[in-house]
Amino acid sequence: MGGIPANIYDCLKSPIVIYGLGDETSKFISEWKNKISIVGLLDGYLEDGEMFGYPIITMQDVIDGNVPMILVIARPGSCKAIAKRISASCIANHIKLFDIRGNDLLSSNKNHCVIGYDYAKTSAALDEKIEKCDVVSFDLFDTLVMRKVYSYTDVFPLLDIKLRKRGIIIPDFIRLRLFAEKELSRNNAPTLEEIYGRVLSLVGGSFISAEELAELEWQIDFQTMIPRKSMCAKFCDIVSQGKNVAIVTDTYYSKEKIEKLLNRYKLQGYSYLLVSCEEHKSKTTGLYEKLKSKVEGKQVLHVGDDEIADVVEPSKFGITTFRIYSGSDLFDLLCNDNVCFNDDISDHVIAGLFIARLFNNPFQFGYNSFSVDNDRDIGYAFFAPIISEFVFWIKNKIKNEDYTQILFCSRDGYLIGKLYRRIDDVTKSIYFLTSRIAAIRAGIEGETDIASVDRMNFFGNKDKEMFVRFGLSNANISEKNRVETIVNKAKQQRINYCRYADKSGLKNTKTALFDFVAKGTVQLYLQRILGMNFKGFYFIQLEPSSMKNKGVKVEPFYDDAEKDKSVMFDNYYILETIITSPYPQVLEFDKMGNPVFADETRSAENINCISEVQNGIVEFFDDYLDILPGDAETVNKNLGEGLLALINRVRIGSKAFLSLKVEDPFFGRMTDINDVLGS
């Protein structure tokens, strides 16, 4: 049974289903169709029809037919995506899932945090191979450039969204776009115009031409592309050394468009540019043979990311190879099934942005554990996804429940409010100065309230507690008149607070209130002070039973059941530290309604670090909106929290970030952020 790994040989004695409709499947079936029992073919987009003499079936058909194994015939990166798509069904129904190379796609290693030897490619190792060759050939996509989406196929739903906004609906567009590409690629290397010509023939035409569709897809795809900076620098270095350089790419884009992309990143001075759709040959059907004919007699090195197209195929023509890993390869290695994302465009954009930011450089790992050293990168990659999901959730709630005004409570509302205003320019939003201390100082009405505050443990002596929480000195207050003194001050503070509220532009209308992680104490006292009822939208509500029957209405992003199972409960201290305002906490208001602030306890370095982290979060949010319209997002907490949890599995190399403190002045607590980060 040559060509089939020994570890799956016995499985092939029983009926199997093949996943994949590409050239490799065609070759496999031609060789083995009389030796093994093939029930049918699976595909991610097609669910009926026939190909290679076998029916295309659904996953439910596989389950109903009690098929014991699915054999995936696809490239390694595609195998991982397929496994994510169907692994749950396979496990639940005891179906084995192997790829054609013999890898068990249902097995996983949960302990990968250190990059293994094979993945630890170094720039020096590539330089050694370059030194020994006459011509260096580069793959283009995922090698010199990458996308800010998870897969090149994510461009299809983005185009579908754009078409629908124009009133152009092509039924089943995404599936047909991929089908047309696969169908035409079996015997040729098609252009994008040819692919869309086939799509339109399948649907009987539309209000748009194949050429217009091709141009729109190119524009969207071009917007998602960024350079892999270290690889582009390597390319330019080789050109400057006087070596001949080639670019060999499988693509449906014309040579003219590829040249535009190369010029955009100053990738110039190459000797050869081989574009599959213009050569009418792909890497697996003769493109490397074409390259060899152009450099006859010269030693060629090809650099690329794909195990088959960039390693196996060029080797057949005596071309030396060096595999660098794509961002998606490195993401899969690090995350290793610890991050779950849905098969929808919103999650794919978030995952793509994460990958583009952290895995742009294939040489960054050396032989060390994965490290992130830049504060802006920390904000962009780890914090931004879950915060963005939360902001989109608030927007949907505000819209669906017809709120006309929302208060973003300081200081946690500083960043959240700025993001929210980017996606909602209809609802009135106010950055509202408050704090637990300010709300209590103005909201207390009697002994019961004071007793409730006293039950909240303070890490310090009674004198300090009295000063921090009530702004009073014990030296001038006896125990006998303590309650009266506190209540009298609160009466004046309520007046002062209302003067501030009037100046803030607050109106007595249907109002929502944002707080990040809280019981509802601030909301309770603000309602009392201002004579208004709010609905609170919180990230997490602590001890919701403590607000029962107190008229405090709260809907948290994470409900009680989710909170107890989620990593968010372990990580919200970190989030609170980095979303806060660069200004000190408000303690109370003077008689003119002007705020009185606490002394700043954070260092200038702390504030600069927080600002850089926030800049990264804002950049991520803007990048997301540049790719996907705000009304097309879906909220998946599992993805955001999975990416945040990775901060506990990698080495954070920023000294400024690691020097941050988790502060809670109301309780007199201060904790090093290192103590709440995992190790």
Question: 156: domain CATH number?
Answer: 3.40.50.1000
Please check whether residue 223 lies inside any domain of the structure.
yes
- What stretch of H or E contains 287? helix 287-294
Q: How many CB atoms lie within 10 A of CB 411?
A: 21
Report residue 331 as tokens: 């993401």
CA neighbor of 354 nearest in space, from 71, 147, 648, 168: 147
Q: Is 312:299 a contact under the CB 8 Å cutoff?
A: no
- Unique residue bearing structure tokens 């004198």: 463
Report the percent of the chain where pLDDT is more than 90. 68
CA neighbor of 576 nearest in space, from 610, 618, 615: 610
Statement to judge: residues 537 and 642 lie in one domain: yes
Q: Is 139:305 a contact under the CB 8 Å cutoff?
A: yes
Report residue 325 as tokens: 């890993």
Report residue 369 as tokens: 């554990």
Helices (H), 206-275: 210-224, 229-240, 255-264
Q: Is 324:303 a contact under the CB 8 Å cutoff?
A: yes
Using one digit for the tens of pLDDT, what is the confidence trace for 164-177?
A: 999 999 999 999 99
Using one digit for the tens of pLDDT, what is the confidence trace for 394-406?
A: 999 999 999 999 9
Statement to judge: residues 402 and 255 lie in one domain: no
Helices (H), 311-370: 313-315, 327-335, 345-358
Could you give phi then psi for residue 17, rounded to 5 degrees? -115, 140
Statement to judge: residues 521 and 384 lie in one domain: yes
- What is the DSSP secondary structure assignment for residue 599, as one 8-state letter? P
Question: 64: domain CATH number?
Answer: 3.40.50.20
Is the model's pLDDT at 24 over the cut of 90? no
**3-state class of 190 per DSSP?**
coil
Helices (H), 426-559: 436-443, 447-454, 462-470, 482-504, 521-530
pLDDT score, position 168: 96
Please check whether residue 20 lies inside any domain of the structure.
yes
DSSP 192-209: HHHHHHHHHHHHT--SS-
Cα torsion at 638, 641, 643, 645 (round to 10°)? -130
**3-state class of 338 per DSSP?**
coil
- First CA to last CA distance, the chain: 47
Using one digit for the tens of pLDDT, what is the confidence trace for 460-513?
A: 888 888 888 998 887 678 778 889 999 999 999 999 999 999 999 999 999 999
**3-state class of 472 per DSSP?**
coil
Statement to judge: residues 410 and 310 lie in one domain: no
- The mean-pLDDT minimum among 105-109, 163-167, 315-319 falls in 105-109
Statement to judge: residues 14 and 49 lie in one domain: yes
Domain count, the chain: 3
pLDDT score, position 101: 80
Statement to judge: residues 160 and 225 lie in one domain: yes
Examine the fold and report which residue of 369, 401, 421 is the final residue of a domain before the chain moves on: 369
Could you give phi then psi for residue 283, rounded to 5 degrees? -65, -30
Those residues with Cβ within 8 angstroms of residue 52's Cβ, 6 or more apart along the chain or in another chain: 21, 25, 26, 29, 41
Q: How confident is the model at residue 1 (pLDDT cuts 50, 70, 90)?
A: very low
Domain of 638, in residue numbers = 370-433+505-679
Examine the fold and report which residue of 369, 397, 412 is the final residue of a domain before the chain moves on: 369
Q: What amino acid occupies position 524?
A: L
Please check whether residue 350 lies inside any domain of the structure.
yes
Please check whether residue 305 lies inside any domain of the structure.
yes
Those residues with Cβ within 8 angstroms of residue 115's Cβ, 6 or more apart along the chain or in another chain: 330, 333, 334, 365, 366, 367, 368, 369, 370
Using one digit for the tens of pLDDT, what is the confidence trace for 288-311?
A: 999 999 998 899 999 999 999 999
- Unique residue bearing structure tokens 């069904």: 89
- The mean-pLDDT minimum among 111-125, 306-320, 547-561, 617-631 falls in 111-125
Statement to judge: residues 571 and 537 lie in one domain: yes
Using one digit for the tens of pLDDT, what is the confidence trace for 581-639?
A: 999 999 999 999 999 999 999 999 999 999 999 999 999 999 999 999 767 778 888 89
Please check whether residue 477 lies inside any domain of the structure.
no
- Unique residue bearing structure tokens 């003194």: 485
Examine the fold and report which residue of 99, 131, 164 is the final residue of a domain before the chain moves on: 99
Q: What does the alpha-carbon distance between residue 458 and residue 469 come to, in Å, rounded to a whole number? A: 9
Please check whether residue 141 lies inside any domain of the structure.
yes
pLDDT score, position 336: 58
Statement to judge: residues 173 and 242 lie in one domain: yes
Statement to judge: residues 113 and 125 lie in one domain: yes
Q: What amino acid occupies position 232?
A: C
**3-state class of 596 per DSSP?**
strand
Please check whether residue 594 lies inside any domain of the structure.
yes
Statement to judge: residues 593 and 642 lie in one domain: yes
Please check whether residue 314 lies inside any domain of the structure.
yes
pLDDT score, position 329: 86
Statement to judge: residues 84 and 48 lie in one domain: yes
pLDDT score, position 84: 74
**3-state class of 651 per DSSP?**
strand
pLDDT score, position 111: 39
Statement to judge: residues 288 and 161 lie in one domain: yes
